Chains A and B, each alone.
Chain A
Amino acid sequence: MSAPNKSYDPVEVEALKPEAIERAQREALTAIAEAADLDALREVKAAHAGDRSPLALANREIGALPPHAKADAGKRVGAARGAVNKALGARQQVLEAERDERVLVEEAVDVTLPYDRLPAGARHPLTTLMERIEDVFVAMGYEVAEGPEVETEWFNFDALNIGPDHPARTTADTFFVADGSRSDAEGAEGSGLVLRTHTSPVQARALLGRELPVYAICPGRVYRTDELDATHTPVFHQVELIAVDEGLTMADLKGTLDHMVQALFGAGMRTRLRPSYFPFTEPSAEMDMVCYVCRGASVGDPERPCRTCSSEGWIELGGCGMVNPRVLTACGIDPERYSGFAFGFGIERMLMFRHNVEDMRDMVEGDVRFTRPFGMEI
């Protein structure tokens, strides 16, 4: 390198000759254009734009020039370096884009590969169907009431106007709890406890334990002495509802049922009441809902039979009625002032017709192949 030239006139500096700068720029641009990949470009950059590159060396010589020549030479060298850097940048972009394109293609995978590393869980459809029904009523202002499954006979029967000689109160229908202190036949029914045969005792508990008015829905597990087969199970689930307020009518019962089936089965659904008999309601009714599959179109049309309703047009839901004033009395509620309605139905049955379950045992046995498809909600 030449030393700074301050004391004497300009001398010729070979590296700063215009031809030399032009040549260096030309060679640099050619090398850049010819760099095939980013590694080559990195070498090109070192050779043509690095500290030891001709243009960098030339730049350092500028100081050796006499002052009047510096500006001119600086302009030339600066222009050349600018052109080279620009070309480098442009080539860098091109080569990076090419690299990205190639590499991401190489990284491609078969996204259709199955991934079942972790098992899928699910909740039982009986649970989620009960919750769905609860939600319909909770949205209306009802509260969910629960109670014990081993229940006293008074709550399960007497308080509901089911007297001591009612046929349901026999071992043919009801599971009785044996009296632990007496094992002989004499003490047979002495414990006064049963497995609740319906969720109605929760209604009585709600009436005794809550302030009026009471609007409650009672879901839960109940027991009757049936053997398990395709359509029966000794352990099943019910949802019951009770509303006690001033001025409640059968029309309110009908409207509430209509609302429920619309919420669960869609717009246009409705219910039908048929007179019936239950000790804890008076008047009492059986409730049916329009078949949500055929909407009654299959009735009398052998061309379009409906499996869901057996071409009856209606599906039996359960029992309902106005709370028997005797039940209100047993719960200390003045039947002259208050009235109420109640209904109840089986969840297994509803699941069977809502989801076309053909065999009760599928809901009982806990086979994951049955339950898994129902997921988290129903």
Chain B
Amino acid sequence: MRAPLSWLREYVDLPAGVTGREVATKLIAAGLEVETVDQLGAGLTGPLVVGRVLAVEELTEFKKPIRYCQVDVGDANGTGEPQNIVCGATNFAVGDKVVVVLPGAVLPGNFAISARRTYGKLSEGMICSAAELGMGDDHDGIIVLPPEYEPGTDAVELLELRDEVLDIAVTPDRGYCLSMRGVARETATAYGLPLRDPALLDVTAPGEYGPAVDVVDTHGCDRFTARAVTGVRPEARSPIWLQRRLQKAGMRSISLAVDVTNYVMLELGQPLHAYDRGRIEGPIGVRRAEPGEKIVTLDGVTRALDPQDLVITDDSGPIGLAGVMGGAHTEISDAHDALVDPVSGQAEGTRDIVVEAAHFDPVTVARTARRHKLSSEASRRFERGVDPQAGPAAAQRAADLLVLLAGGTAEAGVTEVHGATAPRTVTLPADLPDCVAGVAYGRESVVRRLQQVGCDVSGTDELTVTVPSWRPDLTDPNDLAEEVIRLEGYENLPSTLPRPPAGRGLTEAQRLHRRVGRALAGAGYVEALNYPFLGDAAFDRLGLPADDARRRVVTLLNPISDEEPALRTTLLPGLLGALRRNDGRGSQGAQGGIALFETGLVFRPGGDEPAAVRLPVDARPSAEEIAAQDAALPAQPLRAAAVLAGAREQHGWWGAGRPATWADAVEAARVVAREAGVEPEVVADRHEPWHPGRCAALYVEVAGERTLLGHAGELHPRVTKAFQVPARTAAMELDLDVLRRASPGAVPAPRVSTYPVATQDVALVVPEAVPAVAVEAALRSGAGDLLESLRLFDVFTGEQLGAGRKSLAYALRFRAPDRTLTAEEASAARDAAVAAAVTATGAELRA
């Protein structure tokens, strides 16, 4: 809502020196979001006067028509002689009144005017267009004024060029502030001044002879006022003051009848519609549209109607979308754009007008506006709630203005259709605002503030509050408490701290999540937060088979991109995208590699989730109902994933670097698992998108069950190519929910023996296919309790071993808790370990 300060002053006697910014500050404190205060005419200095065109000489030697004019500007030029002015517009004639800016003046935009030669003539000033005066962007040539103004009259004053306009973003609860009446009310309250309510008019009582109206759908339309104004002059134009107010409020001047309806809407907040009575056939009706019906709206669009659309009808069918937009057929036409009557040759504009001031159901209007993607000034107001009592006053005001400005006659008959509506009352304890705010306002202040809002208040400890008709948002006790508190000033609220009960800190899951992030960052990975959107192309790039469970996705109805309509089932595509971006930008520096990680949810629908039902909101849902809500959701496990490529260690003056490999990815997985106190079991696996020979599956034990934690290794060469990331890019992805459940909890403290250690090395030769983890497990089991630690320190293949065989060299450390081991004891333990490995894996002890 754009509210000109000059217009506000018509309803509130603001102190003379008050500026728009000061009013804005007060209104912001009262809860209106004043976004800007436009300074109209800032930097404008005259002389800017009314001129009368005395003579026009057409200059034809230029590319476009140029006029050399003599203009009477009265005594404004100090001489009383005509002013010679060159003008590029042609929409005026000799005798017209125009707006002339004289040398010495400055127009908005710091445009200084001086006498200068142009098109071969000396131009002593300029004839102005609306745009040049900052009145809007209407480029239809220069302004032609109504004839009644004397040459030399100050046009700055006449055109109300200097003003301040408050641009207010109106929140959904304050529909009444989509009117000058509402903004004025808040302004009056903020300044403690009386309001001259523009809706307080002498309204003609309803009678039988008004326009015939038949409201069929009283739910969609609970109030309908119709009255007629006859004999208006089609050639009558809106006066300057009316045009200017519309312009300042952000609307264009169209025709007098339309301007009047818009003006009254801006003034009182009641959308009006004006019909050409000659084009209405039979009574006006209000009903839902019938299947197959269509209407051409004022914007020229043919719209197929939905049976839920509320329409205004006549005998011919729909003539308007109720509360949204009128139909083209019954549109008012003025003399300028009316068809020429083929018989008389006369331009026939609208002479008889029916004014509609109705109250429509907000939800119906909102749905229709949404359905037809047609948001209008009217629908915006109806959606937020229009004062249902404002119709008669608005219709009266429109009729009065039409009579005044277009010479019509308001017909005595006024049609008034309305259901039985009683004012809404809300009861609340008188101290509710005090309790909500934590401030002792006292009953007296509470009652006074509610009265300022427009409420009638009765009662002592329990207040019965009748809310004003223009505040449909005030339905609950807390709504009224807010009114009191905001008018008392949010800025006056004290600052106190509640005392919550002692908390338990973060949950174990939350702490684990944080530790995982820290551990990966500590290991050199940089966190990236990627969008979870993807499409089939990502799964194809990952090389997932057609029946892979990860292809079963949650799909969005309205994705940002049709290419990526689904939610991720794995974190890898997002990370690989970020890896490619970093690689493409050279973000890693000259030699470095890139290592990224992410923790976040993936979305894994089972495919058989029931639809979520909308529960009532008037009571707590049952445990079963809540469970049903959760059952409708896809599984959303928390994952951790990492990708890395290029150098894991850079080369430099210290020596060679080391490229990132599958082993780094597996180690990243171990780093994560370690944060939960878990050492996962590593098993070779074949699983897309990993390299089939370089993919590890990691398992953990959850409640006694061997459970898949995730995968790690080098990516398949086709995958790195498809994602355009470096060859040999490695990746891992783990389920943190599984990991948390695998966590053994409290660590039992180890007993640390201070007796000497006995170290024994063994080298075992096994077939290539035997995994190291199997050899290690066998060694451990055979070594017994004396084994303190075991470490694989070398893997060797070579001719002397024979093809397809490898040698694994282990360092075994033995120690007893209570004595120094003898050499025989250590050797025996080692031999037992080797024997177990031989039995389990076919290993041979290497000489």
Q: A residues touching B (Cβ–Cβ < 8 Å)?
A: 113-124, 126-127, 131, 134, 138, 140-144, 146, 148-155, 158-159, 161, 164-165, 167, 170-171, 175-180, 188-193, 195, 208, 213, 215, 221, 225, 227-228, 234-235, 243, 245, 247-252, 254-256, 258-259, 270, 272-277, 282-286, 322, 324-326, 329-333, 339, 363-369, 371-372, 376
Q: Of B585, B600, B620, which one neighbours A332 at CB under 8 angstroms?
A: B620
Return B724 CB to nearest CB of chain A, in Å.
Answer: 15
In the complex, the chain B residue whose C-beta lies closest to that of A192 is: B612
CA distance A51 to B600 in the complex (A): 79
Question: Nearest residue in B to A277 (C-beta to C-beta)?
Answer: B171
A275 to B486: give the CA distance in the assembly, Å.
6
Cβ of B370 and Cβ of A124 under 8 Å apart?
Answer: no
In angstroms, Cα B597 to Cα A141, docked, is: 31
Does chain A have a CB within 8 A of B363?
yes
Nearest-neighbor residue (CB-CB) of B610 within chain A = A192
Once A121-B524, A150-B634 are accepted as A-B contacts, the answer to whether A367 and B503 lie under 8 Å apart by CB is no
Contacts of B499 in A (CB 8 A): 141
Contact of A252 among B478, B497, B522, B621 (CB under 8 A): B497
- Residue pair A329, B617 in contact (C-beta under 8 Å): yes
Q: Evaluate contact between B510 and A144: CB separation under 8 angstroms.
A: yes
Question: B529–A126 contact, CB under 8 A?
Answer: yes
State in angstroms the CA–CA spacing of A348 and B551 once bound together.
Answer: 31
- Chain A residues, Cβ within 8 Å of B517: 123, 127
A sample of 17 cross-chain residue pairs with beta-carbon separation below 8 angstroms, ordered by A number, consists of A117-B652, A121-B521, A122-B526, A150-B633, A215-B498, A215-B503, A243-B500, A249-B435, A250-B485, A251-B494, A254-B496, A255-B498, A275-B486, A325-B476, A330-B620, A333-B620, A366-B581
B31 within 8 A of A: yes
Report whether B498 and A322 are in contact in the complex, using a CB–CB cutoff of 8 Å: no
Q: Is the CB of A252 within 8 A of B498?
A: yes
B490 sits at the interface (CB 8 A): yes
Minimum Cβ distance to chain A for residue B27 (Å): 10
**CB atoms of A149 and B654 under 8 A apart:** no
Indicate if B537 sits at the interface (CB-CB under 8 A): no
The residues in B between 489 and 506 inclusive whose CB is less than 8 angstroms from any CB of A are 490-491, 493-506
The answer, yes or no, to whether B810 is at the interface (CB within 8 Å) is no
Q: How far is the CA of A116 from the CA of B593 in the complex (A)?
A: 12
CB pair B521 A376 closer than 8 Å: yes
Q: Whole-angstrom distance between the alpha carbons of A302 and B557 in the complex?
A: 49
Contact present for A248 and B476 (CB under 8 Å): no
Q: Are A208 and B626 in contact (CB under 8 A)?
A: yes
Known contacts being A117-B654, A119-B595, A213-B501, is A367 close to B481, with CB within 8 Å? no
Q: How far is the CB of B34 from chain A (nearest CB, A)?
A: 10
Asked if A177 meets B582 with Cβ closer than 8 Å, knowing A121-B521, A122-B521, A152-B632, the reply is: no
B578 and A365 within 8 A (CB): yes
Given A213-B501, A282-B479, 14 extra CB contacts under 8 A: A117-B650, A121-B521, A122-B527, A123-B518, A142-B503, A150-B603, A155-B629, A175-B558, A193-B632, A251-B437, A284-B482, A367-B581, A368-B582, A369-B587
Residues of A within 8 A of B554 (CB): 150, 177, 193
A284 to B578, CA, bound (A): 40
A247 cross-chain contacts in B, Cβ below 8 A: 435
Neighbour of B652 across the interface among A116, A152, A190, A235, CB < 8 A? A116
The residue from B366, B490, B498, B653 contacting A245, defined by CB atoms under 8 A apart: B498
Bound CA–CA A151/B823 (angstroms): 66
Taking CB atoms, residues of chain B closer than 8 Å to A284 are: 482
CA distance A152 to B621 in the complex (A): 14
Which of B491, B506, B527, B648 is A272 in contact with, Cβ under 8 Å?
A: B491
Chain A residues positioned under 8 Å from B648 (CB to CB):
119
Check B619 against A283 for contact (C-beta < 8 Å).
no
Q: How far is the CB of B640 from chain A (nearest CB, A)?
A: 12
- Residue B649, interface by CB 8 Å: yes
Q: Knowing A118-B524, A123-B521 are in contact, say whether A259-B617 is a contact too (CB < 8 A).
A: no
Q: Tell me, rounded to whole Å, the shortest Cβ–Cβ distance linking A171 to chain B.
A: 4
Report B-chain residues with C-beta under 8 Å of the C-beta of A322: 436, 478
B33 at interface (Cβ–Cβ under 8 A)? yes
Instruction: Determine if B240 is an interface residue (Cβ-Cβ < 8 Å).
Output: no
**Residue of A at shortest CB range from B523?**
A121
Beyond A249-B438, A255-B496, A371-B527, whether A159 also contacts B611 by CB under 8 A is no
Query: Taking CB as reference atom, which chain A residue is nearest B522?
Result: A121
A-side binding surface: helix, strand, loop or mixed? Answer: mixed
A263–chain B nearest beta-carbon distance, Å: 12
> Which of B363, B482, B596, B603 has the most CB atoms of chain A within a 10 A radius of its CB?
B482
Q: Nearest chain-A residue to B479 (Cβ)?
A: A282
List, in ascending order, chain B residues with CB within 8 A of A115's CB. Answer: 652, 654
- Quick one: given A122-B521, A274-B490, A285-B490, are A367 and B587 in contact (CB under 8 Å)? yes
Which residue of B33, B528, B585, B634 contacts A371 across the interface (Cβ within 8 Å)?
B528
B520 pairs with A188, CB closer than 8 A: no
**A154 in contact with B581 (CB, 8 Å):** no
CB of B490 within 8 A of CB of A273, answer yes
| A275 and B31 in contact, given A118-B524, A138-B505 (Cβ under 8 angstroms) | yes
Chain B residue with Cβ nearest A143? B503
Q: How far is the CA of A119 from the CA of B612 in the complex (A)?
A: 47
A283 and B529 contacting across the interface, CB-CB below 8 Å = no
Give the residue of B558, B605, B652 whose beta carbon is less than 8 angstroms from that of A225.
B558
In the complex, chain B residues 566-596 whose Cβ is within 8 Å of any chain A Cβ: 567, 575, 578, 581-582, 585, 587-588, 592-596
CB within 8 Å for A118 and B556 given contacts A252-B438, A283-B481, A329-B617: no
Q: Does B174 contact A (CB under 8 A)?
A: yes
When distances are taken between beta carbons in the complex, the residues of chain B under 8 Å from A177 are 554-557
Task: Give A231 to B263 CA distance when docked, in angstroms.
Answer: 37
Q: Say yes or no for B144: interface residue by CB 8 A criterion.
A: no
- Chain B residues positioned under 8 Å from A329 (CB to CB): 617-619
The answer to whether A141 touches B502 (Cβ under 8 A) is yes
Q: Which residues of A contact B496 (CB under 8 A)?
A: 249, 251-252, 254-255
The 3 closest A-B CB pairs, nearest first, are A332-B620, A275-B31, A249-B438
| B478 close to A325 (CB less than 8 A) | yes
Task: For A189, give the chain B residue with the smallest CB separation.
Answer: B557
Chain A residues lying within 8 Å of B559, measured Cβ to Cβ, are: 175
Assess whether A254 is in contact with B494, with CB atoms less than 8 Å apart. Answer: yes
The docked-state distance in angstroms from the alpha carbon of A152 to that of B601 is: 16
CB distance from B563 to the nearest CB of A (A): 14
Residues of chain B contacted by A326 (CB below 8 angstroms):
476, 617
Set of chain B residues within 8 Å of A234, measured between Cβ atoms: 531, 560
- Do A124 and B527 touch (CB < 8 A)? yes
Residues of chain A lying within 8 A (CB to CB) of residue B567: 150, 195
Q: How far is the CB of B309 from chain A (nearest CB, A)?
A: 15
* B526 and A117 within 8 A (CB): no
Q: Which of chain B's residues has its CB closest to A174's CB?
A: B558
Q: Which of B503, B526, B558 contacts A372 (CB 8 A)?
A: B526
Q: Which residue of A lies closest to B594 (CB)?
A: A368
Q: Is B607 an interface residue (CB 8 A)?
A: yes
Cβ-based interface call for B29 (8 A) = yes
Q: Is the CB of A192 within 8 A of B557?
A: no
A254-B611 contact, Cβ under 8 Å, with A121-B526, A121-B595, A282-B476: no
Query: B507 on the interface (CB 8 Å rule)?
Result: yes
- Given A175-B558, A330-B620: A193 touches B653 (CB 8 Å cut-off): no
Asked if A366 meets B530 with Cβ closer than 8 Å, knowing A193-B632, A234-B560, A283-B482, the reply is yes
Q: Is the CB of A364 within 8 A of B617?
A: no
**Contact present for A251 and B493 (CB under 8 Å):** yes
User: Is B173's beta carbon under 8 Å from chain A?
Assistant: yes
Chain B 1-43 interface mask (CB, 8 Å, partner A; 1/0): 0000000000000000000000000001111010000000000
Whether the Cβ atoms of B482 and A339 lie closer than 8 Å is no
Minimal Cβ-Cβ distance residue in A for B503: A141
CA distance A116 to B654 in the complex (A): 10
Taking the closest CB of chain A, its distance from the CB of B641, in whole angstroms, is 13
Instruction: Confirm or deny: B196 has a beta carbon within 8 angstroms of a beta carbon on chain A.
Output: no
Fill in one digit per residue for B631-671: 1 if any A CB lies within 8 Å of its CB, else 0. Answer: 01110100000000000111011100100000000000000
A117 in contact with B649 (CB, 8 Å): yes
Q: Name the residue of chain B whose CB is nearest to the CB of A159.
A: B617
